[in-house]
Amino acid sequence: MVILSTDADFQNLIQSNPKVVVKFFADWCGSCKLFAPKFKRHSNDEANNDVVFIEVNAEENENARKLAGVDNLPYLASFKNGVLLEGTATSKEEYLQKMIDDLRA
């Protein structure tokens, strides 16, 4: 399951869950739309039940965007125990898997 987050609940979500992957997107972003099903597939994978998957509209949520250092879209960020581990602009499924694996290291 993917949780749609806003500035109002973003801090709470990343601090109350030990392993979080966030996808930042915008409605006009074609690459974001193409990546969405891949992100959702990983979130629905039972092997990833220990990871919380969050989507944030980067245009509407400036605080969350700044916290993750978003500089392009789509942008993936991982948080472990509320701390930003890594973030990068990518639409590569392999990179998403690497971020998930790094959260478990």
- Where do the domains of the chain lie? 2-104
Mean pLDDT of 70-89: 97
pTM above 0.85, yes or no: yes
The pLDDT assigned to 101 comes to 97
Catalytic residue, from 20, 22, 32, 77: name it: 32
Catalytic residue, from 22, 29, 68, 103: name it: 29
| Known catalytic residue at 94 | no
The pLDDT assigned to 59 comes to 97
Rounded-to-integer distance, Cα 91 and Cα 22, Å:
13
Q: Calculate the CA 76 to chain-centre distance.
A: 5
Domain 2-104 homologous superfamily, CATH: Glutaredoxin (3.40.30.10)
Length of the chain: 105
Answer whether 77's CB lies under 8 Å from 68's CB: yes
The pLDDT assigned to 52 comes to 98
Q: Calculate the CA 74 to chain-centre distance.
A: 10
Answer whether 84's CB lies under 8 Å from 29's CB: no
Rounded-to-integer distance, Cα 44 and Cα 94, Å:
16
CA angle 29, 34, 35 (to 5 degrees): 95
| Known catalytic residue at 59 | no
Among candidate residues 27, 79, 71, the one with its CA nearest the CA of residue 52: 79
The pLDDT assigned to 38 comes to 97
The pLDDT assigned to 76 comes to 98
Answer whether 58's CB lies under 8 Å from 73's CB: yes
Q: Quick: pLDDT tens for 22-67.
A: 999 999 999 999 999 999 999 999 999 999 999 999 999 999 999 9
